[in-house]
Amino acid sequence: MADDETPSQTQESSTAREFSANGTSMSTTDVEAKLDKGNIEEAESSLRERLSLNSEEARTLLGRLEYQRGNVEAALRVLDGIDLQAAIQKLQPSSQQAARLVLEGVYLKVKSLQKLGKFAEAAQDCANILDAVGRIFPQGIPDAQVESKLQEMISKAVELLPELLKQAGKYQEAMAAYRRVLLNPWNLDNDYCGRIQKAFAVFLLHSGLEAGPPSLGAQADGAYVPKNNLEEAILLLLVLMRKLHHGDIQWDPSVLDHLMYALSLCSQTPVLSKQLEELKPGVFHRTERWNLLALCCSGVGQNKAAMNLLRKSLHINERPNDLTALLLAAKICSEDSQLAAEGVGYAQRAVDNAKGVDEHLKGVGLRMLGLCLGKQAKVSSSDFERSRLQNEALKSLDSALSFEQDNPDIIFELGAHYAEQRNLNAALRFAKKYIDITGGSVMKGWRLLALILSAQQRFTEAEVVTDAALDETGKWEQGPLLRLKAKLKVSQSRPMEAIETYCYLLALVQAQRKSSGPMKIYSQVEDDKVKEFEVWFGLAALYSSLSHWKDVEVCVKKAREMKQYSAELVHTEGKI
């Protein structure tokens, strides 16, 4: 049924233009002539006499006729004459046909107001329909005991109300309306309920408003109550996915798209993996499913599982040239020296396949190629090979920069690669450019700049940069900067100040470990976090340089609790 069709449009009105009611039919010709002349009362009187109707029922039929003829304003003039409140007093659950006609009249008025852009008025009248249904059926709509056309009209009004409130700009009221229509016993079928749940989930995700938890009256004892919009949207989408799995509603790929987005916001990709695994065969091509599962695994650091899936997807008998899979595989390989050579192959294939197709993805492929070559250089067995790979890495990153000249990630990576090659002037230039582009809001830029200054023996400047970075960085992200500051103080022969900084860092790391929860999202990758072992070992090395052997012994013992087998610890213990 199209949106503009009325819930109880009769066969007669759509073909031969006849009115039918109470077992009697009549042509619409005379009535249309009266309406065209503006004689609404005469047209109403004619219908009441010929079809034995009351005023509200006759007005509904006239309004339906005008609406179907495309005369929206005329339909509204006719339907304005319906006194809903008076009609409700006469209605009983047993007189469903009469109830349907009256409520349909108000629904047609709502649709007419919507077409004329009078959304607030339409929303109020639509809410009146639902209030009327609540009075007619105070115990809820009895399942399978309601006339189908009446049920359809009620269902359409239930679905329309929150949409009208959104169109009227009443977003908080729309939130409340969504909850009202989903919690009340409207006897909705799966399709109507599914569409409303999806619309509510999308609104929760993208409205920009915080709805707050449902009211206490809507909370069942022992039921889980979502704490915010994101949790509520995810719950709704998971319910929809369950319906899709069971075949209760037709497959809708956008539901999974919204769920992917929602779960990625809170780093809950394992939940998404489970949903993907439960999908019936044929919903996705197997390579697409493998790619999505690989993305989920990669999101939680399960890179080995992700690579196994991507290798299957990129097999010559599957989709060996899929750009997305190639780039994801190259990215994962760029983080592991042992996989770097394999990653070079994926990145080169991505660059070749993106030529003339997608210049942006070609730039991304060149960046991944540069990162993989740089990582491969670190495990090279000869100086010549290492130098060659480093030069190729820089060429690839330079080429990637030509596609996106203000991409901060590429600028940072060029700075880091030049620093590794001891081209400190070029590295310093890119580090400063990175800080300018990011506005100094990213900690790793300050660290890179401080490290480059330190490598140039400019320790005082490096410490100034580190202190400036500490002032701009949140407490929980200060660990790497504090470790760098301690090392700078050691380089300047200020061991006692270094010990003080290490002790502060130790307190911070221990507090971080105790406060971390399952939903905590770090702004830096886990490899960029300071481990408690590293702090104890750093203190041990510092005390060793001062020949404070009792302190060294305490620090080594603590470090051993963190990491039982360590060559560095064995070496330090040998000194003791």
**Count: domains in the chain:** 1
Q: Is residue 73 part of a domain?
A: yes
- Cβ atoms of 233 and 269 within 8 Å: the answer is no
Q: Is residue 366 part of a domain?
A: no
- DSSP state at residue 337: G
Burial of 18 (0-12, 13-18, 19+ CB in 10 A): middle
Cα–Cα distance between 283 and 45 in angstroms, integer? 57
From first to last of the 576 residues of the chain, give the pLDDT tens digit: 344 545 444 333 433 478 777 777 787 887 888 888 878 888 888 888 888 788 888 888 888 888 988 899 989 988 887 776 766 666 566 677 777 788 888 899 999 999 999 999 999 999 988 988 888 888 777 766 677 888 898 999 999 999 999 999 999 999 999 998 888 878 889 999 999 999 999 999 998 887 666 665 555 555 667 888 899 999 999 999 999 888 899 888 899 999 999 998 888 888 888 888 888 777 778 999 899 999 999 988 899 999 999 999 999 999 999 999 999 999 999 999 999 999 999 999 999 999 878 889 999 999 999 999 999 998 888 989 999 999 999 999 999 999 989 899 999 999 999 998 899 999 999 999 999 999 888 888 988 999 999 999 998 899 888 888 888 777 777 788 888 888 888 888 888 988 888 888 888 888 877 765 444 433 333 444 568 888 888 888 888 888 888 888 888 888 887 777 777 666 666 666
Cα–Cα distance between 445 and 349 in angstroms, integer? 31
User: What is the enclosing helix (H) or strand (E) of 20?
Assistant: strand 18-21
Q: Is residue 526 part of a domain?
A: no
Provide the token pair at 471: 């002032």
CA distances (Å), origin 232, targets 188, 207, 211, 245, 427: 21, 13, 9, 20, 47
Task: Indicate if the alpha-carbon torsion angle 336, 364, 420, 442 is positive or negative.
Answer: negative
Q: Is residue 117 part of a domain?
A: yes
Closest CA to 313 of 331, 301, 325, 324: 325
Cα–Cα distance between 527 and 48 in angstroms, integer? 80
Q: Is residue 370 part of a domain?
A: no
- Cβ atoms of 296 and 276 within 8 Å: the answer is yes
| Long-range residue pairs from 175-179, CB within 8 A, at least 24 positions apart, any chain | 175/203, 175/204, 175/207, 175/209, 175/211, 177/127, 178/203, 179/214, 179/215, 179/218
| Res 575: pLDDT | 63
Q: Which residues contact 380 (CB under 8 A, 6 or more apart)?
A: 386, 389
Question: What is the three-state SS of 435-502?
Answer: HHHHCCCCHHHHHHHHHHHHHCCCHHHHHHHHHHHHHHCCHHHCHHHHHHHHHHHHHCCCHHHHHHHH
Q: Is residue 303 part of a domain?
A: no
| Res 92: pLDDT | 65
Q: Is residue 228 part of a domain?
A: no
Burial of 531 (0-12, 13-18, 19+ CB in 10 A): middle
Domain of residue 99: give its range: 1-188
Q: Is residue 284 part of a domain?
A: no
Give backbone dihedrals phi and psi of 236, rounded to 5 degrees, phi first.
-65, -45
CATH code of the domain in which 1 resides: 1.25.40.10
